Amino acid sequence: MLDVPALDIVDLSVGYAGEDSIIPAVDRVSFSIAPGEFMGLAGESGCGKSTIAQSILRLLRAPGIITGGEIRIAGNDMLSEDDNAVRALRWRTASIVLQNSLTSLNPVKRIEWQLQEALNRGTSSVRRTPAELLQMVDIDPKRLRAYPHELSGGQRQRVVIAMALALEPKLIILDEPTTALDVIVQQEIFVTVKALQRQMGFAVLLITHDLPLLFKVADRIAVMKDGKIVETAPVAEFRQHQEHPYSRALLTASPKVDFTTPPVARPKSVAHPVLETAHLTKAYGTNPLTGRSALVAVNDVSFRLAPGEIVALVGASGSGKSTFGRIVTGLTRPSSGDVLVDGRTPVPVSRRRPHQPRAAQMVFQDVYGSLNPLHTIGHHLRRAVISAPGGDKTDVEGRVAALLTEVGLTPTASYLDRRPHELSGGQRQRVGLARALAASPKLLVADEPVSMLDVSIRRDILNLIARLRDEQGVAVLYITHDVVSAGYIADRIAVMHRGEIVEEGLAKAVLANPQHAYTRQLIAAVPGGLGLETSSANPVPAS
Amino acid sequence: MYYIAKRLAFYVLAAFVAITVNFFLPRLTPGDPASTIVATYSTSLNAESLAALKAAYGLTDEPLLQQYLSYLGNVLRGDFGRSLSNFPAPVMAVIGAGFGWSILLGLTSVLLSFVLGSVLGAIAAWRRGGWFDRLTPPVLLFLGSFPYFFLALLLFYVFCFKLGWFPMGNAYSSVNPPALNLAGVGDILMHLIAPAFTIVLVSLGPWTLNMRNAMIGVLSEDYLTLAEAKGLQPRQVLLSHAVRTALLPNITALGAAVGAVFSGQLLTEIVFTYPGLGYSLMRAVSAVDYPLMQALFLIITLSVLAANFFVDTLYVLLDPRVRTGGEA
Amino acid sequence: MSLSETFGAKARRQLLGSIPVTVGLVILGALVAASALAQLVAPYNPKRATGGINEPPSLTHLFGTTGQGQDVLSQFLYGGQNTLWVAFSIAVLTTLLALIVALTAAYFRGWVDDLLTLVTNVFLVIPGLPLVVVLAAFLPPGPLTMIMVLTITGWAFGARLFRSQALSLREREFIAAAEDVGESRWRIVAIELLPNMGSVVAAYFVNQVIFAITAQASLEFLGLGDGGQITWGSMLFWAQNSSALIRGAWWTFVVPGMAIALTAFSLALINNAVDEIGNPRLRADRLMRRAGVRKPSATLMTPVKRDA
């Protein structure tokens, strides 16, 4: 019995039905997971890793088709049995936790009901209760009567994990379960999962794009590229040496903080900061009578940014960092306090006119949403050039070509007539940068510019931003949740927590020697640590 | 409860707007229709009725505000004026029993088409791409393309006139409404079937298609994937997960549909000479009885508002997100 | 979702190849062409008595004659003209009005939005027909009254639909990006926002034509139209008035009634087909069938097809 693997996949091929033929997405993939083993399946978006995860329980939606191979969960064949037999095996032999915790629970049923529904599938006489399940994942059983929308994202994902353990299956599939969650929440969830795994002995298949995370939690790692597994190795081995060039590329592509060079303070011309805020506050839902606000997104922030400086504003989602960025560019108006960009208060968008001088421009997070799908790249850049100060007098086509060259999109003519959907994510973000540069701003506000991009191109975009600073002297406010990329690119780091800047200093100094408890927590949550001696030798604490 | 209070306030406001529109319409329409009406009636009415008519349309020396306030007071007391064609009977007396019959026909047909449409839509979505799913939408679209009154005419001609399966008109056979015993209820049902069937046929399409589309949307949700992953039987997946949430948008639409169906119902009643409000409306239009028309507008509007409020309350009971979220 | 996002060249070809769309276009084209050419093809003057009373269809009167001895075919052709242009005008006006209200609300937000939304919602809950009856009764009968009355009562749903669409588009970052670059307000609405609402506006417009045709006919049937004008609705009104059904003159009913129903049906067919082809979930089903995989129900069970 011990010899039967928890999951055994042999020559699995999966495709998607297209107009003319079935387009392969997974090509003869084989791997197996031993009982109690924690296996990580890594790769970039579109490599087929999620397709495998969903095929195991035959949950891949149309137009997905399994075109060959074998899938066995604890010895049970998932492919040749009839539908009812497969249905009987689901959840008892293996369960799955999906990526989006918000949508994976039924919104109109109570947590208790949904847990009980999973428990009812059990056959053994000894049954757990929904309350016990919640306790397992450290949620107060009082929350049983809650509806999903009344829980936080992390709690919802814990509920799903509890549900996944209800029938004590041999295998749990985690399909990017923490991608939508904050680093700290992610770390807490994996601490729980590892503890439960030790206690109950189930095997885990974790699908992720995050190699450092796998280093921290997995026993063995498989790297996928273009529908094939290019390398499988125990984590300890893989960290030392990567067999396949792609694995190596993937690993080195993620930005790292270089602690070998000492932190260098750029000469700060304090007299003329490019950005200066004083007691900046933005509150939402303020009651005019009591003066109390439903939410204070930015709370009394005083902050300076020198010309040519890159400062990273680091914080979890909801910390107020994006609101701060939007205030700086004038997209949002502050409730109180002052902002000066290049000595002037930003003009609110509602009162903005073409050709007005603008010192700050925004680079957006959503590379799919920030370009109008109906218009060409040429249109986007031409409009930006024409609306820029003095834009009515410049040679528009020449300026557009120059901008495209600056962001590395050459030959420029081949991009002008393309529409956003014809470009890759990285190329779109380059267009976004070119558009922001059209008005020759003094300050770029880059709001999570790489978080939606694949790991392998994140560093390229960050390098491009750094190069633009070096060549054009533009200052950058880099807004991110990712401490590592902040350390990679920024001169200084400001840490934001619940609307306030809790710590500020030279980037490497802050990372090497964090002062505030929240900063320490944020750094400790980074999977694999920052590459410093102290944090890398510190695996997941046992609980 | 905050949500319900908010909705109630909205309906009170909407009712107020309807009442106000009703007051100002004859007074402010270009071409001074009020004088025209009075002029038309000046020969055919006796002095008493003419005075009442003038008062109703503000052709008196009273200031507008005063007229408006006394009008509001009258409406609050349930006094909607006097009918011109049955002078001096109050309009409420003329409308009287028709109201009950309309409610009976309206409730029956809306509930029937809602239930039937939701069931058909759920089946079509579940057996997606099957013959049922491919046949249902075009057939229902075709039936839904008929104006209510035209389909009513056809059905009346075939089933009541030619085949004689159902009685030709009225809501009951005898002169007075029957007693509520078995035979009486049966008689009322026989008269109800043909008009209700008409309304159900025309209004079934949107219910079915909306339910089908909502189901198709819900079926691709992550929580349906999870329900399937749990190994639940298809019946459980369908009933306790998919149908339950897919019904919600259809219930929201129920409120809006009540108004539209009611409009179609009035015409259907006319064709089947069913003694509901539509019948009164027809009489008002052909006799150019303005007070009756206006009263009908108000009464129908108020009933539709009440129905909407009822649906909103029902929705709160079914969707926990509204209960705590408090958003509209 | 915008037109070009939903419909690439491939989808457009598919749309033209689909059976419901072809059927819809053929019916609609025939009705519109026949009405437009009424002056040329109508055999008789539609207002004159050119035959006996309630003559059944024959070679001289293809669709029979009315209770007043007029030729039903000629009435159908001329009536189509009057009916269709009024319906089309109502559809254009309600769509424009709804767009203006929705875009103003979505662009200005704040109290402007609150106010416009409130007005929209009030118009939405007030039942259409009784209000239309009251309005029409106070105004002189005729096509202009018809257009005005049905425009006033018919725009609200569109305004709500467009507003929610515009609001969700406004949240997309390309609008913020255009603002950030310094584009003017109205340019953003006209160039960035509006074109992305294309498919929703088109679908609504088609539905409004259907609404206008049936609502118009209903009013005329009630006797609130201009009795002297020949429209499909007034044909039904006169047929009802002369108790044509009881006399067995079914053709005086069936011709205008079917004309209305077929126009509405052809438009609904086209709209529904566009909706189906644009729906990515249904597209997946179609691809599966094309790959030779058939499923009896929507249960989630990835098919295994080893020979592929």
Give burial (CB, 10 Å; 0-12/13-18/19+) of A199: exposed
Instruction: Tell me if chain B has a CB within 8 Å of the CB of A59.
Output: yes
Residues of A in contact with B325 (CB under 8 A): 149
Q: Which domains does chain A have, with CATH numbers?
A: 7-252 (3.40.50.300), 263-282+293-359+441-504 (3.40.50.300), 369-440 (no CATH)
Residues of C in contact with B259 (CB under 8 A): 125-128
Residues of A in contact with B225 (CB under 8 A): 54, 59, 61, 98, 104
Both tokens of C291, joined, read 């790959």
Instruction: Tell me if chain A has a CB within 8 Å of the CB of B225.
Output: yes
pLDDT of residue A534: 39
pLDDT of residue A533: 42
Element holding A289 (H helix, E strand): none
Q: Could you tell me if residue C148 is inside a domain?
A: yes
Kindly list the strands in the beta sheet with A171-175, ordered across the sheet, starting from the edge strand earlier in the chain: A94-97, A171-175, A203-208, A38-42, A220-225, A228-234
* Residues above pLDDT 70, as percent of chain B: 88
Cβ separation A107–B325 shorter than 8 A? no
Per-residue pLDDT of C62-113, as tens digits, reads 888 888 888 889 999 999 999 999 999 999 999 999 999 999 888 777 888 8
Mean pLDDT (chain A) is 87
Q: Which domain holds residue C48?
A: 3-299
Cβ separation C127–B220 shorter than 8 A? no
pLDDT of residue A536: 37
Q: Which of A163-177, A496-510, B149-163 bottoms out in mean pLDDT, i.e. has the lowest?
A: B149-163
Same domain, residue pair B233 and B128? yes
Most confident of A308-312, B91-95, C294-298: A308-312
pLDDT of residue B29: 66
Cβ separation B282–C222 shorter than 8 A? yes
Q: Total domain count for chain C?
A: 1
CATH code of the domain in which C133 resides: 1.10.3720.10
pLDDT of A530 above 80: no
pLDDT of residue B42: 67
Cβ separation B231–A88 shorter than 8 A? yes
Same domain, residue pair B33 and B7? yes
Work out the average pLDDT over B270-286: 83
Per-residue pLDDT of C193-244, as tens digits, reads 888 888 889 889 999 999 999 989 988 888 888 877 889 998 998 888 888 8
Output b/e per residue, B39-51; b: 16+ Cβ within 10 A: eebeeebeeebbe
Same domain, residue pair B23 and B99? no
ipTM of the complex: 0.81
Helix (H, G, I), strand (E, B) or coil at C139: coil
Per-residue pLDDT of B242-274, as tens digits, reads 998 899 888 888 877 777 777 788 888 888 888
Out of B49, B77, B105, a domain closes at: B77
Place of tokens 């920024």: A490
CA-based nearest distance C20→chain B, Å = 8
Confidence of residue B87 (pLDDT cuts 50, 70, 90): low
Confidence of residue C4 (pLDDT cuts 50, 70, 90): very low
Work out the average pLDDT over B100-113: 90
Same domain, residue pair B161 and B22? no
Cβ separation C308–A15 shorter than 8 A? yes
Q: Which residues contact A16 (CB under 8 A, 6 or more apart)?
A: A22, A23, A25, A63, A64, A65, C287
pLDDT of A540 above 70: no
Same domain, residue pair B30 and B177? no
Same domain, residue pair B42 and B181? no
pLDDT of residue C29: 93
Q: Could you tell me if residue B11 is inside a domain?
A: yes
Q: Could you tell me if residue C258 is inside a domain?
A: yes
Instruction: Tell me if chain C has a CB within 8 Å of the CB of A355.
Output: yes
Work out the average pLDDT over A458-481: 91
Work out the average pLDDT over B284-293: 78
Instruction: Tell me if chain A has a CB within 8 Å of the CB of B228.
Output: yes
Work out the average pLDDT over A168-193: 89
Cβ separation A80–C304 shorter than 8 A? yes
Strands A38-42 and A94-97: unpaired
pLDDT of C6 above 80: no
Higher pLDDT, A355 or A472: A472
Nearest to A410 by CA among A420, A419, A396, A400: A400
Same domain, residue pair B110 and B64? no
pLDDT of A414 above 70: yes
Per-residue pLDDT of A142-164, as tens digits, reads 999 999 988 888 899 999 999 99
What phi and psi, each to the nearest 5 degrees, are found at residue A15?
Answer: -140, 170
Residues of C in contact with A54 (CB under 8 A): 302
Q: Could you tell me if residue C306 is inside a domain?
A: no
A110 in Cβ contact with B321 (< 8 Å): no
Nearest to C279 by CA among B243, B217, B139: B217
Q: Could you tell me if residue C123 is inside a domain?
A: yes
Q: Could you tell me if residue B327 is inside a domain?
A: no
pLDDT of residue B261: 78
Q: Report d(CA A216, CA A203) in Å as an integer.
A: 16
Higher pLDDT, A516 or B260: A516
pLDDT of residue A344: 85
* Residues above pLDDT 90, as percent of chain B: 17
Cβ separation A329–C173 shorter than 8 A? no
Q: Could you tell me if residue C305 is inside a domain?
A: no
Residues of C in contact with B31 (CB under 8 A): 139-140
Q: Where are the alpha helices (DSSP H) in B127-229?
A: 131-144, 148-155, 182-219, 222-229
Per-residue pLDDT of A73-109, as tens digits, reads 999 999 977 889 999 999 999 999 998 877 899 998 9
Same domain, residue pair B165 and B261? yes
Q: Could you tell me if residue B157 is inside a domain?
A: yes
Same domain, residue pair B12 and B47? yes
Work out the average pLDDT over A393-401: 88
pLDDT of residue A359: 84
Q: What is the DSSP letter of C65?
A: B
Side-chain-facing half-sphere of B264: CA atoms under 13 Å? 28
Kindly list the strands in the beta sheet with A443-447, ordered across the sheet, starting from the edge strand earlier in the chain: A360-363, A443-447, A475-480, A310-314, A492-497, A500-506
Q: Which chains touch A (3 or more CB pairs under 8 A)?
A: B, C
Name residue C29's amino acid: G
Q: Could you tell me if residue B171 is inside a domain?
A: yes
Q: Which of A239-243, A530-534, B112-116 bottoms out in mean pLDDT, i.e. has the lowest?
A: A530-534
Q: Which of A307-321, A345-359, B3-17, C60-74 bottoms out in mean pLDDT, i.e. has the lowest?
A: A345-359
Per-residue pLDDT of B146-168, as tens digits, reads 888 899 888 888 888 888 888 87
Per-residue pLDDT of B299-311, as tens digits, reads 888 888 888 888 8
Residues of C in contact with B286 (CB under 8 A): 223
What string of DSSP letters covers A224-284?
A: EETTEEEEEEEHHHHHH--SSHHHHHHHHHS-----SSPP-PPPP-TTS-SEEEEEEEEEE
Same domain, residue pair B66 and B127? no
Q: Could you tell me if residue B287 is inside a domain?
A: yes
pLDDT of residue A537: 37
Q: Report d(CA C31, CA C25) in Å as an integer.
A: 10
pLDDT of residue A402: 92
Higher pLDDT, A243 or C127: A243
Same domain, residue pair B240 and B171? yes
Both tokens of B265, joined, read 């119902």
Cβ separation A374–C2 shorter than 8 A? yes
Per-residue pLDDT of C43-75, as tens digits, reads 888 888 887 888 888 888 888 888 888 888 999
pLDDT of residue A538: 39
Work out the average pLDDT over A293-308: 86
pLDDT of A367 above 50: yes
Work out the average pLDDT over A287-292: 70
C196 in Cβ contact with A371 (< 8 Å): no
CATH code of the domain in which B147 resides: 1.10.3720.10
pLDDT of A268 above 60: no
pLDDT of B283 above 90: no
Helix (H, G, I), strand (E, B) or coil at A127: coil
pLDDT of B177 above 80: no
Work out the average pLDDT over A235-259: 84
Mean pLDDT (chain B) is 82
Chain C (265-304) residues lying within 8 Å, Cβ to Cβ, of chain A:
284-285, 287-288, 290-291, 293, 299-304
Place of tokens 């609150």: C114
What phi and psi, each to the nearest 5 degrees, are found at residue A505?
Answer: 175, 180
Q: Total domain count for chain B?
A: 2
pLDDT of residue C7: 46
Out of B47, B77, B107, a domain closes at: B77
CA-based nearest distance B183→chain C, Å = 30
A104 in Cβ contact with B223 (< 8 Å): yes
Q: Could you tell me if residue C307 is inside a domain?
A: no
Q: What is the DSSP letter of A207?
A: E
Out of B22, B55, B77, a domain closes at: B77
Both tokens of C228, joined, read 């002297």
Q: Could you tell me if residue B328 is inside a domain?
A: no
**Radius of gyration over alpha carbons of chain A, in Å?**
25
pLDDT of residue A343: 85
Q: Which domain holds residue B6?
A: 2-77
